[in-house]
Amino acid sequence: MSKKNKKIELKDHIIETRPPIKDVDKLKLWVRSGGRCVICNKYLLDLNYDVSIGEMAHVVGWSKAKKSPRGEVELALENRNTVDNLILLCADHHKIVDTKELLEEFTLERLIQHKTDHEQRVHHLTDLQIDSESLVLRMLGGIRGATVEVSKEHARNVVFNSERKFALFINSFDKHGIEIDLNAMPDPEENWESYWSMGKSIIDKSLHPLMEGVKKGQVRHLSVFAMSRIPLLVYLGYKLDDKIPTSLYQKHRGDKETWMWSEEVKTENFEIVKLREHASENVAVILSLSGSINPDDLPQDILESCNLYEIKPIGTIPNRNILRNKASYENFNKTYHEFLSQLEIAHKSCTQIHLFPAIPVTGALTCGRGLMRDVQPAITVYDRSGTTYKPTLTVNSK
């Protein structure tokens, strides 16, 4: 840098060199930034050589000279070397933000936003205790050709904003936590029985790292983001059980697609209605939440041999946003398990429940979670194939 570029005016004095940044401001900046670049989050300590590779940059340039990036902004010169006007960057991003051709992109406002967001995130995450970790599990795919995604960043934000927990992503093939990828599965119509068997096998294999983590006491909380065919969601819920504290999320559509629960929509309540009575101990149940299922559409042998029940919302037409509110989900969860408990009294000899679900993701997971093994009946889940309902898979069978 030339001598000319080193000069600045400070209280009418000419200073030949840039005023040094005080040690206290350097320390504050590194602590606030967590030792990472505020733009790309690169760790700025080379562990091989134990050398700092971070660079302190100015938001408002350190002088008012024309060549000083963003230096024309009204900020007292004596305040330009303080922590509030400094950002910690890697060498690459320091070069980028100060490049003349990119100043219109890396504006004062953008750099302040980067600094604020990054430093707040570091503060939040380092404030969390070890019990505030939540392992992220994603199961995506297998929805009639539709592709659904939940990014690592969005999952992290949802977990923190919902539970005040730090999203933990342990080793997996894409480093996104425990991932169950069902996107490559064929359409079930090609081979109905093989499809569900294949789905169960993929789920079982993908859950091995989770089960190992549970055995070793490494998993204290689980956050589940899932989108798939309902029977596979029921099976996933069954495999997860309810021994690990778990938060369930589902994708909500509207003005903005999100996996966050909403506190602004109505809280729904649910009821159990007996539609048909039969002399046998056989039981079938319709779950009319995201849509209504006409009892007459059920297989004839079910209608002729089963006591038929329905769980539905009270005073609300079934719709896909019925569980938009977390309290609504909890109310359904309570009603569903009350139904299972009532069967132990009303139908003591029942060994199998035929389940016909029109239900959101979290409701499907609930149908599998919390089943009392070797006590409550097995549950055979049905799915629609064309105009008929066909059995898919059974959980909790002895």
pLDDT digits (tens, 9 = 90+) for 17-48: 678 899 999 999 999 999 999 999 999 998 78
Q: Tally the C-alpha atoms within 13 A of residue 82's C-alpha that lie toward its C-beta.
A: 7
Q: How confident is the model at residue 170, as a pLDDT? A: 63
pLDDT band, residue 166 (cuts 50/70/90): confident
What pLDDT score does 160 carry? 86
pLDDT digits (tens, 9 = 90+) for 128-161: 666 678 889 999 886 655 556 778 888 888 888 8
Q: Which amino acid is at 378?
A: A
Average pLDDT over residues 284-295: 96
Q: How high is the pLDDT of residue 37?
A: 94
3-class SS at 232? helix
Taking only the tens place, the pLDDT of each residue in 330-387 is: 999 999 999 999 998 999 999 999 999 999 999 999 999 989 888 899 999 999 988 8
Q: pLDDT for 89-104, tens place per residue?
A: 999 999 999 998 888 8
CB 363 within 8 A of CB 285: no
Task: Decide if pLDDT at 172 tops 50.
Answer: no
Rounded Cα distance, 298 and 205, in Å: 33
Distance from the first to the final alpha carbon of the chain: 78
Name the more confident of 381 and 106: 381
Neighbours of 63 (CB within 10 A): 21
Distance (Å, rounded) from C-alpha 248 to C-alpha 19? 53
pLDDT: which is higher, 77 or 108 = 108
Is 314 in contact with 269 (CB distance < 8 Å)?
Answer: yes
Domains (ranges, CATH) in the chain?
Answer: 3-127 (no CATH), 131-249 (3.40.50), 270-395 (no CATH)
- Please check whether residue 357 is in contact with residue 381, taking contact to mean a CB–CB distance below 8 angstroms: yes
DSSP conformation class of 19: P
Q: Are 54 and 88 in contact (CB under 8 A)?
A: yes
Angle among Cα 105, 106, 109 to the nearest 5 degrees reads 110
Smallest CA-to-CA distance from 308 within 261, 354, 265 is with: 354
- Predicted confidence (pLDDT) per residue in 2-12, tens digit: 444 444 444 44
> Given this model, what pLDDT does residue 187 score?
84
The mean pLDDT of 277-304, rounded to a whole number, is 95
Distances (CA, A) of 101 to 97, 104, 105: 9, 7, 9
Distance of alpha carbon 263 from alpha carbon 158, whole angstroms = 14
Q: Model-level pTM? A: 0.71
